Structure 1
Amino acid sequence: MPEDDLESLPGVGPATADKLVENGYESYQSIAVASPGELSNRADIGNSTASDIINAARKTADIGGFETGATVLERREQIGKLSWQIPEIDEMLGGGIETQSITEVYGEFGAGKSQVTHQMAVNVQLPPEQGGLRGSCIFIDSEDTFRPERIDDMVRGLEDDVIQATMDDREIDGSPGDEAAMEELVNAFLDQIHVAKAFNSNHQILLVEKAKEIAGKQEETEWPVRMVCVDSLTAHFRAEYVGRGQLAERQQKLNKHLHDLMRIGDLYNTSILVTNQVASNPDSYFGDPTQPIGGNILGHTSTFRMYLRKSKGNKRIVRLVDAPNLADGEGIMRVKGEGLKPE
């Protein structure tokens, strides 16, 4: 949207419009979903002025009013479903990972959380008829887990018919048995994964703002951003805010961080996939003592919560713990050299 359009909002002159655009508020819709405090800080304006700007943007963008259930259903038809390429898990999730939602995957060390983020960074780029969303991926790496070699393994590990369909879609001449064509395909997948390493929690929060900018720039391109992965969401927050005295501040920052991620999902029809660390509850005498960290803030904000548990060998139990419209369930996958595969 041109900057001049923003100047039609009350209290927005050329200088304020420039500041808004510089901070990623390029449309009425992005302003409409902001909070007055946030807009006030970013654009260097008063709270009351920020409130007036947001209210005007909501009216112009037609956001914030009531609507019928039929309208909500119609809008939900735009939501994409990203396949795991594992029928049992896709069925449990009602088709796969949803766009416009946060999917949290938690489990102990070595359970396969990072394997899931790598696999979804591949799957999201597949053509829709192959279970993908034909979009690019943003990968925020807080634990130094991203490995391009793993993406290579997983692309080569796709089924031959999926590889062929993807080559045809990307206009790559060749077949799954053609090494030159496979090399070109792997590089094409890597080109659509935007990776950034987060050095601390503040940097991680900043990277989500940058992710929003990238998603906005690519929205109308051939490869819109259809997935944002954060691996892991909680590592830096857990390390930097230690003890009960800092718990409130940690949760407050984590809450804002999650809502920034959710905003990307809502604005750009993007799926948000986050991994979470776990802690052992010593008070648990029965059942599994493993609990995700992040407390109620993360529990309430995540749309889907999935628990990965180790089993024999390369087998992993995938449990759907919470979902707004799905029953709890379990599925089995295997973590192999060529990627995540069915039992």
Structure 2
Amino acid sequence: MSTTTELTETQSSIINIDELQNYGINVSDIQKLKLGGIYTVNTLLSVTRRNLCKLKGLSEIKVEKIKEAAGKIIQVGFIPATIQLNIRKKVYSLSTGSKQLDNILGGGIMTMSITEVFGEFRCGKTQMSHTLCVTTQLPRELGGAEGKVAYIDTEGTFRPERIKQIAEKYGLDPESCLDNVSYARALNSEHQMELVEKLGEELSTGEYKLIVVDSIMANFRVDYCGRGELNERQQKLNQHLFKLNRLAEEFNCAVFMTNQVQSDPGASSLFASADGRKPVGGHVLAHASATRILLRKGRGEERVAKLQDSPDMPERECVYIISESGITDSTE
């Protein structure tokens, strides 16, 4: 095996932060990193020296020593695109519950990236979130990942009884399904960001395959009001989304976010829908989301999903239904 391949395999694997002990870093400094939400060498390398110095008890000299040790474990730099292709082959998809929707998405909700669904109230955003909590636990051959889910609820719309209903449809044990969903109610935007910072410890176990944030902008819209605070809001949001994206790439898990919409009478936005509504969050959120899906109501229980942005698939739409057992195809 070539040295380049060995380095690449090290880069694509999750290396626990405790490995730093073998390179002269003491346990107390490693504990300080963990208190700062850093649990792997991969995460450590993505954090700037400036931000590491903000952690209590870490001086510039210590930070430099820690960075040097991390660089010996994982060497980052240019690699052949063929090696990156091999890393990308590890990406897999999580079924939404609808074969038609999975088809337009190229298989389902993809790992190593952020997927955003937006639409007006009662269009089925939270229902899709609940369905994914169950399908993620299915075997790979059935569109799942046999993994756990981390669910951040910002609007108080999470319903464990819905998880049990959907689990019964898929023939899974309802209680086991609930045990495999780690739930947190985000009280404000600051708390929401702290919850994501703490996710590194759970994700480092390799058991978690999906992170759900329902919804991404609710707390930010409340905590930052008016144009005067818009700049600060977007800066905080950008940091939050960067962390989520890093988690998705580092741990090969999927990040699924729901988002609200706002009226745009002029429909001048590039991302506005036909009815003049556009997702909140502006360009910061638009750039962070690899895949964006517009949901709207159809007839009865029917919902229409339109793939608006994807790096892999063309713009298309499909129809599915929401039933007691979650999301299914309209033909079922």
1:95 counterpart letter in structure 2: G
Partner of residue 231 from structure 1, selected from 211, 214, 218: 214
- Asked if 1:187 corresponds to 2:175, the answer is yes
Match of 2:250 in 1: 267
Distance 2:16 2:292 in 1: 39
Alpha-carbon shift at residue 16 of structure 1 (Å): 2.0
* 1:326 and 2:313 aligned: yes
Structure 1 residue matching 2:319: 3-state secondary structure: strand
**Alignment counterpart, residue 53 of structure 1, candidates 66, 75, 78:** 66
Q: Is contact 1:6–1:27 with CA below 8 Å preserved after alignment? A: no
Q: 1:9 to 1:280 in 2, by over 3 A?
A: farther
Q: Structure 1: 5+ residue runs without aligned partners?
A: 167-184
Aligned-residue RMSD, C-alpha: 2.0
**Residue 266 of structure 2 is aligned with which of 273, 283, 286?**
283
Return the match for 1:205 from 193, 197, 200: 193
Aligned counterpart, 2:328 = 341
Q: Which residue in 1 is equivalent to 2:134?
A: 122
Instruction: Give the Cα–Cα distance (whole angstroms) in 1 for the partners of residues 254 and 218 of structure 2.
Output: 21
- Map 1:84-233 to 2 at 5 A: 84-158=96-170, 163=171, 185-216=173-204, 218-219=205-206, 224-233=207-216
Partner of 2:228: 245
AA matched with 2:20: L
Give the Cα separation in 1 of the matches to 2:110 and 2:137.
15
- The one of 37, 48, 60 aligned to 1:24: 37
The letter of the residue matching 1:281 is: D
Q: Cα offset for 1:48? A: 7.2
Relative to 1, partners in 2 of residues 1:279 and 1:47: Cα closer, same or farther, differing over 3 Å?
farther
Cα distance, 1:272 vs. partner?
0.3
> Shift in Å at residue 39 of structure 1?
1.6
Name the CA distance, whole Å, in 2 between partners of 1:54 and 1:232: 35
- How far apart are the structure 2 equivalents of 1:126 and 1:107? 27
Size of the alignment, in residue pairs? 312
SS in structure 2 of the partner of residue 54 of structure 1: helix
Q: 2:22 & 2:56 partners in 1: Cα distance?
A: 16
TM-score by length of 2: 0.88
1:268/1:2 CA distance change after superposition, 3 Å: closer
8 Å CA contact 1:99, 1:269 repeated in 2: yes
Report if aligned partners of 1:230, 1:275 keep a CA contact under 8 Å in 2: yes
Aligned counterpart, 2:237: 254
Return 5+ residue gaps in structure 2 as ranges.
Answer: 1-14
Q: Deviation digits for residues 44-85 of structure 1, max 9, x if unmatched? A: 43457536633552442123x111121111111111111123
Structure 2 CA distance for partners of 1:72 and 1:195, relative to 1, 3 Å? same
Q: Name the counterpart of 1:75.
A: 87
Q: Which moved more, 1:236-245 or 1:21-30?
A: 21-30
Equivalent residue for 1:15?
A: 28
1:301 & 1:70 partners in 2: Cα distance? 25
State the 1:36 CA deviation: 2.2
Report how far residue 282 of structure 1 moved.
1.8
CA-to-partner distance for each residue in 1:66-125, whole Å, 9 max, x for gaps? 111211111111111111231211111111111111000111011110001000000000
**Structure 1 length normalisation: TM-score?**
0.85
**1:125-149 deviations in whole A, cap 9, x for unaligned?**
0000111011000000110011011
Aligned partner of 2:113: which letter?
S
Deviation larger for 13-22 or 301-310 = 13-22
SS at match of 1:253: helix
